[in-house]
């Protein structure tokens, strides 16, 4: 049974941590292959499952030591129909993968039931297409229809909320928010931006957030920015109404552009201490932010430094 679906504990403003770049960490730092960058595939192999469990145990232990809440993500970012052919699986396989992933993180929450602050089960939803270079524009109607399938699968689990992460189009975000509302699931939208702080289609972050709110009657619980380095977007943040709808950030460790990262065969893990300092600067600028973690290239070292910097 969902514990927090009707009242997300991060909304009042207490500090919550997330994990980091699970795929890049497991592939580059642990030497484990992830087929098609789809982390849910690891759950059906005992060694892969334990690798993922140990990955999250580190972050859950960090949250316990720092006395923060934790947003515990499912491995369902690519567990939807767009990737079925690439993964060689059926719709039923993907449905089972969504259910198995939520059951998996629910077990992890039980394992850390002694944590002082809440652990929120979060179902990840990825975009319909490449998060770095979207192949086509998707209308809000198309997106609502498409994402409703995965949303329906997740609604039947113990998940507390869902997050549409690395989204690159405001119309697709509108559709996924509408699908979540129909399914009765709280949703967070996290946009990916390029090195200029704009979405890949050149739409500004402000315009994207405003268009989603206008089209959905502010149905999203809040917004985030992920899969971009602080240098890429911190200059567009301010104290306007749209910016106050942002509650969290999950940054890349690297300053590389998405195009450069896509071509890179070695991990650029940046500087964890510097990244933590940049988070502290952004939070001073936007003190209402309260959800913090990492994305591509980051790992437990980075989120540990982020937690230390925010604590300081």
Q: pLDDT per residue over 157-180, tens digit each?
A: 999 999 999 999 999 999 999 999
Beta-ladder partners of 72: 121
The stretch 108-113 carries a mean pLDDT of: 98
For the CA atoms of 36, 109, 286, 214, what is the dihedral angle to 10 degrees? 70
33-81 pLDDT tens trace: 999 999 999 999 999 999 999 999 999 999 999 999 999 999 999 999 9
Residues 285 and 9: beta-carbon distance below 8 Å: no
Residue 273: its H or E element: helix 272-285
264 pLDDT band, cuts 50/70/90, is confident
Fold of 16-311: TIM Barrel (3.20.20)
Query: For position 53, what pLDDT does the model report?
Result: 98
Query: For position 116, what pLDDT does the model report?
Result: 96
Residue 53: its H or E element: helix 46-66
pLDDT at 220 over 70: yes
Query: For position 261, what pLDDT does the model report?
Result: 83
Q: Cβ contacts of residue 115 below 8 Å, gap of 6+? A: 60, 63, 64, 70
Each domain of the chain, given as residue ranges in start order, spans 16-311
């Amino acid at each position: 049974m969902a514990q927090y679906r009707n009242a997300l504990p991060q909304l009042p403003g207490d500090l919550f941590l997330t994990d980091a770049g699970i795929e890049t960490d497991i592939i580059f730092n642990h030497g484990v292959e992830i087929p098609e960058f789809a982390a849910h595939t690891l759950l059906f192999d005992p060694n892969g499952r334990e690798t993922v469990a140990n990955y999250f145990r580190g972050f859950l232990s960090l949250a316990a030591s720092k006395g923060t809440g934790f947003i515990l993500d499912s491995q369902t970012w690519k567990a939807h129909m767009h990737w079925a052919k690439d993964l060689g699986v059926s719709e039923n396989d993907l449905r089972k993968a969504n259910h198995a992933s939520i059951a998996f993180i629910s077990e992890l929450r039980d394992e850390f039931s002694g944590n002082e602050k809440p652990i929120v089960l979060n179902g990840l939803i990825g975009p319909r297409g490449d998060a770095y270079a979207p192949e086509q524009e998707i209308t809000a109607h198309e997106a609502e229809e498409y994402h409703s399938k995965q949303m329906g699968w997740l609604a039947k689990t113990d998940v507390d909320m869902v997050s549409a992460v690395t989204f690159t189009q405001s119309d697709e975000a509108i559709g996924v928010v509408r699908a979540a509302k129909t399914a009765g699931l709280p949703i967070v939208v996290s946009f990916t931006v390029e090195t200029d702080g704009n979405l890949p289609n050149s739409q500004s972050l402000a315009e994207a957030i405003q268009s989603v709110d206008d089209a959905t009657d502010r149905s999203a619980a809040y917004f985030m920015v992920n899969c971009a380095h602080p240098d890429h977007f911190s200059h567009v943040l301010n104290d306007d109404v749209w910016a106050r709808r942002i509650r969290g950030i999950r940054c890349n460790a690297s300053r590389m552009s998405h195009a450069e990262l896509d071509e890179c065969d070695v991990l650029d893990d940046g500087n964890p201490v510097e990244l933590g300092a940049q988070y502290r600067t952004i939070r001073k600028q936007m003190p209402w932010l309260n959800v913090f973690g990492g994305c591509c290239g980051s790992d437990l070292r980075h989120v540990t430094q982020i937690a230390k910097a925010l604590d300081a």
